[in-house]
Amino acid sequence: MGINSEIWHQADWSALAYLPERANRILKYSGSLTEALQKHFSNDDLQLSLEDSRIEKSTPDINSKLGITDSEVLKRIVVISLGPKPYIYAETHTPCWATDELPWLADLGRETLGQHLFTLPNVERSSFEYALLDLSELEVEFIFEEDITLWARRSLFKIPGLTVAEVPLLVTEVFMQHVAPSIVQESFLGVDHYC
């Protein structure tokens, strides 16, 4: 199961203009979201749950984004929570051979991908694509009191490999409705909704 490729829009998607300024800012934030959270919360509050890591059949959309023709890809799903509340659902797709080129990928465990990506030299990141998702499109079951629409973004990272010029990683981040858009500001003054 994957997120429908037809729902994604380019970085200039006009719907972003209708978001509150702080929500718009977090969706365009290019730094490490994990690091931004760590600045405001203790490590006891911030939790990462590794939901799945597997090899699965690739799709034309994923292959196109990764720039490969492989029949299978490596997929990793994590949920970042603050206390009991899930805040970010994240999927990473990469070629199966990526762990040979980036050995640390195989040893991530419960660490976030961003904790490594943003410390590496010469990493390139594409512009963001955005989407509005329904909970049913995620591979983890979340329980909310009402139906919600979730904002998501994805971007492609290109990382120098050991024997190849670059290793592609497609990262999708889905923001739960109760995430405070002030995540990238100096302090949290309450919880705002994306939609």
Instruction: Examine residue 189 and state whether it is found in any structural domain, yes or no.
Output: no
Instruction: Examine residue 190 and state whether it is found in any structural domain, yes or no.
Output: no
Instruction: Examine residue 193 and state whether it is found in any structural domain, yes or no.
Output: no
Instruction: Examine residue 164 and state whether it is found in any structural domain, yes or no.
Output: yes
> Which residues does 32 contact at the CB level (< 8 Å), separation at least 6?
114, 115, 117, 118
Instruction: Examine residue 192 and state whether it is found in any structural domain, yes or no.
Output: no
pTM given for the model = 0.82
Q: Which two tokens stand for residue 139?
A: 């591979």
**Residue 94 pLDDT grade (very low, low, confident, very high; cuts 50, 70, 90):** very high
Pairwise pLDDT comparison (108 vs 13), residue with the higher score: 108
Specify which residues 157 forms β-bridges with.
Answer: 125, 169
Instruction: Examine residue 194 and state whether it is found in any structural domain, yes or no.
Output: no
Cα gap 32→194, rounded to integer Å: 20
Widest CA span in the chain: 49
pLDDT at 183: 40
Q: How many domains does the chain divide into?
A: 1
Instruction: Examine residue 151 and state whether it is found in any structural domain, yes or no.
Output: yes
Pairwise pLDDT comparison (142 vs 63), residue with the higher score: 63
> What's 10's domain CATH number?
3.40.1410.10
Instruction: Examine residue 180 and state whether it is found in any structural domain, yes or no.
Output: yes
Q: Which of 36-45, 89-98, 119-128, 168-177 is predicted least confidently? A: 36-45
Which domain, by its residues, includes 97? 5-184
On the question of pLDDT at 164 being above 90, the answer is yes
- Note the pLDDT tens digit of each residue in 116-162: 888 889 999 999 988 877 777 788 877 665 556 788 899 999 999 99
